[in-house]
Amino acid sequence: MADPSSYRPKPGQIPDSPGVYKFRDEHRRVIYVGKAKSLRQRLASYFQDVAGLHPRTATMVTTAASVEWTVVSTEVEALQLEYSWIKEFDPRFNVKYRDDKSYPSLAVTLNEEYPRVQVMRGPKKKGVRYFGPYGHAWAIRETVDLMLRVFPVRTCSAGVFKRSAQIGRPCLLGYIGKCSAPCVGRVTPEEHRELAEDFCDFMAGRTGTYLSRLEKEMHIAAEDMEYEKAARLRDDIGALRRAMEKNAVVLADATDADLIAVAEDELEAAVQIFHVRGGRVRGQRGWVTDKVEAVDTAGLVEHALQQLYGEEKGEAVPKEVLVPALPEDTPALNQWLADRRGSQVSLRIPQRGDKKALMETVHRNALQSLALHKTRRASDLTTRSRALEEIAQALELDSAPLRIECFDISHLQGDDVVASMVVFEDGLARKGEYRRFQIKSFEGQDDVRSMHEVVSRRFRRYLQEKLKTGEWEAEDGQAPEEDDGRPKRFAYPPQLIVVDGGQPQVAAAKRALEELGVDDVAVCGLAKRLEEVWLPGEDDPVVLPRTSEGLYLLQRVRDEAHRFAIQYQRNKRGKRLKSGPLDVVPGLGESRKQALIKHFGSVKKLRQATIDQICEVPGIGRKTAETVAAALAQAVPAGPAVNTATGEIIEDETPAPAGASSERGTEQ
């Protein structure tokens, strides 16, 4: 635990101007990012008597080992820089909202020649129009099913679309009138895009004009005695109204607004957002966060606004944002939101009427979300804490192993030997910190030697990171390098290493640590046969009860490492088996491989080409052409394929993607 006075900057060094500051720990990892109108006043507040600070702030300043800052010209720039740094460094003491699930959205891919309507999750893509998010994917599919009757936009995948175009027949939706079948040319690309844009306009809330137009067309058709057309238009209007009824009117003035409500206690907070478009609730989402920093409701709202609109532009930012409390820097936030939208945005607290009533509904949802989260989390926290305590007690550790790393070796009869490293922190998987290794020091099957190599490489990288920060001095006295605080692959040591295996693998891992002088990391092995826990230098294993939460956690860690290693080994083997003759040409990337195959049509024709003909391919110089010709001349072509029904020899004239093998084998 650091003394804040040990790294406190002198008052005269801190500028009295707007800026963003970073606290770093002893590993140079950024642990907190904040902004201030006056850096001097804000930073001075952290270096008062620790006993007078909020408990969370006191924990942060005693964990930190240094502080630095960046001066900006305006509060809006400070807001933007703070958001960028929080996203980049992922500081542990900043409020970070986490979705309790991945909410689906209705997406229209306007960036394609034939736009497609589909359900999408995850980060938003450029050129795609989104509506939602929705609580359930089935709600999107029900809405789309009703809308396709009126707006028969393509919903099929690229593979289905391509197949229908090849055979000249549309899919089932094309036959029943729920797709305009652009795959077979029933409509032009321009007509199909117009349908997609009408679909987007209707989903965006511009419903009145379109319904009026359909009703007018229905009456005209009836007057002209075109009763079938009039009946179809009547059914279309009914379908659109049923789709609209799924989103009841909540604001009579057809407002576009987002409503944000917060429910909180001393430890956690839940945020609920309702997206209202055209007066109807078009989407809903919720976040939960641990209050790892001293923050009030206004601060939680500010963080929510940053996360909600940090990556959005244009109409994705509504004209109105209704909140329960205004942040301290409301003018800067208003300007930031306006810059992202491209026009004025109103950030305010609803005082009366429908908007205040709807805000109360959103707040009730936030309260329910927080209560549900606490019900789930209480059990999870208790179980994980008990598991870590049981492991610490069984292995006689000084404290619970908050960070556990597990290593596993995988191969297929000695070929494609690889290893995996998985990371669990506080009993939960940290998949972003998983790593995989190729065994480089030898060939063949030797799990013990492989384990020694992998553990050595992992902790050699750890010592290199310590060298950069000056925590460890190399024998040659190499000077530490400057660190930018971004998360490093191997910068943080575990409290416990788990290896998949018994005594030999445990001894190899321990020997690797001793050779590097690492003596503060515990090692154990989990043998699959009897699920015994082996410790270095012990003749007898530690046997945990079958009902032990600690044993269950070790099994999860071991099984995850095994899964990750097998996945990597299979991918590596698959790439090797699918490699073609062009893959061995040095300096020939994927783009130029594809250009060669596209130009000549097949590997066979490329092999028959002269160097001058190969040089005609864009991007291929004479030296590269000579290398390609030499590689293909050395490769032995596969034998001809035979049609087993007729005995006919099938010539290889079909084009194949670069690096892909045919069904009868890879050309070598």
- Token pair 């055979």: residue: 167
Strand order across the 19-24 sheet: 30-36, 19-24, 66-71
Q: Tell me the sheet residues that pair with 422.
A: 406
Tokens of 211: 């319904």
Residue 64: count of CB within 10 angstroms of its CB:
22
Q: Tell me the sheet residues that pair with 415.
A: 412
Per DSSP, 502 falls in state S
Shortest CA distance to 274 belongs to which of 287, 251, 258? Answer: 258
Shortest CA distance to 292 belongs to which of 557, 34, 593? Answer: 34
- Token pair 């099913």: residue: 145
Angle, alpha carbons 508-510-514 (nearest 5°): 115
Give the model's pLDDT for residue 620.
86
The whole-angstrom separation of Cα 627 and Cα 615 is 11
Contact 593, 579 (CB under 8 A): no
Tokens of 159: 């593979």
126 exposure class (CB count in 10 Å sphere: 0-12, 13-18, 19+): exposed
Residues of the chain with pLDDT under 50: 100, 474-483, 487, 638-668
The whole-angstrom separation of Cα 491 and Cα 471 is 12
Cα-based distances in Å from 596 to 236, 582, 660: 51, 10, 13
Give the model's pLDDT for residue 576.
61
The whole-angstrom separation of Cα 637 and Cα 666 is 8
Which residues fall within 8 angstroms of residue 314, CB to CB, at 6 or more apart?
341, 342
Contact 452, 459 (CB under 8 A): no
CA dihedral 565, 567, 572, 574 (to 10 degrees): 150
SS3 487: coil
Which residues fall within 8 angstroms of residue 99, CB to CB, at 6 or more apart?
285, 286, 287
Give the model's pLDDT for residue 662.
33
The whole-angstrom separation of Cα 536 and Cα 620 is 57
Give the model's pLDDT for residue 248.
53
Which residues fall within 8 angstroms of residue 24, CB to CB, at 6 or more apart?
30, 31, 64, 65, 66, 67, 68, 485
Query: How remote is the C-alpha of 203 from its chain's centroid?
Result: 27
Contact 465, 27 (CB under 8 A): yes
Region of residue 261 (left: phi > 0; alpha: psi -120 to 50; beta: else): beta
The whole-angstrom separation of Cα 210 and Cα 216 is 10
Query: How remote is the C-alpha of 1 from its chain's centroid?
Result: 33
Contact 247, 280 (CB under 8 A): yes
The crossing angle, in degrees rounded to 10, of helices 75-89 and 297-309 is: 80
Angle, alpha carbons 654-658-661 (nearest 5°): 65
Residues recorded for the chain: 668
DSSP run (H or E) holding 447: helix 447-469
Give the model's pLDDT for residue 201.
81
The whole-angstrom separation of Cα 69 and Cα 30 is 12
Residue 133, preceding peptide bond in cis (omega within 30° of 0): yes
Contact 655, 601 (CB under 8 A): yes
The whole-angstrom separation of Cα 569 and Cα 588 is 25
Region of residue 37 (left: phi > 0; alpha: psi -120 to 50; beta: else): alpha
Helix, strand and coil content of the chain, in percent to the nearest 5, comes to 45, 20, 40
Phi/psi of residue 410, nearest 5 degrees: -140, 140
